[in-house]
Amino acid sequence: MSSEGGDTPHQGTVLGAVSVGGVAGALARYGIALAVPHSTIGFPVSTLMTNVSGSLLIGVLMVALGHLRKPYPLLRPFVGVGILGGFTTFSTYVVEAQQLIVHHEAGLAILYLTSTLVLGIAAVAVGAVLARLVLTRVVP
């Protein structure tokens, strides 16, 4: 479904793509949380893994979309906003840091906050570089 603008999808279609992607991403995040559980006073490894891997994937996605001559208009909303937005989680990140502070683990909270931020930014950069390397060989 397109609006009068041609290739621009209707807002309802975009919302649907984001919603379906968000469900898929949230389910994947929940699966990782079940597979790698942690206590409220332990280092939140599963959330760190989720946020860093999601950051890597968003780096790959943005470069990949840039290499497509005419990307499908719902690809970025579905994968970037929906799946990866539902997969990564800023709210859990902040709540877990707050819980560490409440449990007198301020040092661990600072380590968690800092490592997530630094590793997330590094992961976006690594994902972008890897995607460029692969795509320049595959799609010159």
Q: What is the mean pLDDT of each run of 10 residues along the chain (140 residues)?
A: 58 95 96 89 92 97 91 93 95 94 96 97 98 86
Q: How much is the pTM?
A: 0.86
The pLDDT score that the predictor gives to residue 17 is 96
What is residue 3's predicted lDDT score, i.e. its pLDDT? 41
Identify the CA nearest to 78 among candidates 28, 2, 12, 17. 17
Looking at residue 41, what is its pLDDT? 83
pLDDT score recorded for residue 68: 87
User: What pLDDT score was predicted for residue 1?
Assistant: 40
Give the model's pLDDT for residue 121: 97
CA distances to 1, 12, 98, 102 from 94, rounded to whole Å, are 38, 31, 6, 12
The pLDDT value given to residue 140? 61
